[in-house]
Amino acid sequence: QAQLAESGGGLVQAGGTLRLTCTSSTSIFGIRNMGWYRQAPGKQRELVALITNSGSTNYADSVQGRFTISRDNAKNTVYLQMNSLKPEDTSVYFCNVKSLVRDYWGQGTQVTVSS
């Protein structure tokens, strides 16, 4: 069974950049979408960015123009480039892969943006 592993989180000052990486331990059959979600304490998990098999992308309004999602199918990897980070971006970021059969979730990586 595939497992997702996120990396790249950390502490950064406002205006800084981070790049998150999510890699699957094995190939996943029938991948539809790959995406990033985030969840801050006391809040619901929310979609940050999504990329489809065809390469179409969708972003939350709050990150549009600052974040970029991309994927490398050969490496079973999805990336999230985060620029111009704001304190309100502070959250645990989760990788998600939707296949024909099920959803896969990573354990999450903490992103903290100081003001």
First to last CA, the chain: 40
User: Using one digit for the tens of pLDDT, what is the confidence trace for 53-98?
Assistant: 899 999 999 999 999 999 998 888 999 999 999 999 999 999 999 9
Decide which of 45 and 76 is more confident.
45
Is residue 36 a contact partner of residue 21, using CB atoms and an 8 Å limit?
no
Please give the average per-residue pLDDT across 95-108, as a whole number: 94
pLDDT band at 25 (very low <50, low <70, confident <90, very high): confident
Query: Which amino acid is present at 30?
Result: G
pLDDT of residue 92: 98
CB atoms within 10 A of CB 98: 17
The predicted model gives 37-59 an average pLDDT of: 96
DSSP state of 14: T
pLDDT of residue 52: 94
Structure confidence at residue 112 as a pLDDT band (50, 70, 90) = very high
Contacts of 42 (CB under 8 A, 6+ apart): none
Predicted pLDDT at 2: 84
Residue 76 CA, chain-centre distance (Å), reads 14
pLDDT computed for residue 73 by the predictor: 87
pLDDT of residue 28: 84
